[in-house]
């Protein structure tokens, strides 16, 4: 059981890094730092979008419209941290070593 919890914790950590990469990529794209017509850049952007958008879209629907400011990644980070803390505090102590 502990191995499953470890895998869940690692997956949550990796997903946080993917969301960070997606946010940085969106900034680079918005400020025209990277060339969106480049095939590799387009593939990376599409992959990041497809991985993060299904989770961020419901959060964006709940949050009020703040113009150009997107707070959904921050809310997602808080949710992930909450899930990790719940696993550490409530699930790990009950798992036998």
8-53 pLDDT, tens digit each: 999 999 999 999 999 999 999 999 999 989 999 999 999 999 999 9
pLDDT tens digit sequence for 42-90 = 999 999 999 999 999 999 999 998 888 999 999 999 999 999 999 999 8
Statement: residue 96 has pLDDT above 70: no
What total of structural domains would you count in the chain? 1
Amino acid 97: pLDDT: 57
Q: At what angle do helices 2-30 and 72-86 cross, to 10 degrees?
A: 170
Domain range enclosing 13: 2-94
Closest CA to 14 of 65, 66, 80: 80
How far is it, in rounded angstroms, from Cα 83 to Cα 81? 5
Q: Which residue has the tokens 């009950």?
A: 94
Question: Which spans in the chain are helix H?
Answer: 2-30, 39-62, 72-86
């Amino acid at each position: 059981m502990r191995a499953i919890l470890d895998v869940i914790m690692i997956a949550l950590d990796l997903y946080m890094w993917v969301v960070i990469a997606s946010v940085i990529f969106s900034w680079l794209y918005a400020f025209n730092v990277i060339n969106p017509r480049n095939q590799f850049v387009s593939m990376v952007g599409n992959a990041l979008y497809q991985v993060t958008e299904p989770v961020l879209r419901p959060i964006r629907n709940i949050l009020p419209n703040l113009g150009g400011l997107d707070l959904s990644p921050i809310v997602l980070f808080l949710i992930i941290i909450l899930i990790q803390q719940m696993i550490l505090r409530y699930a790990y102590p009950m798992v036998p070593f």
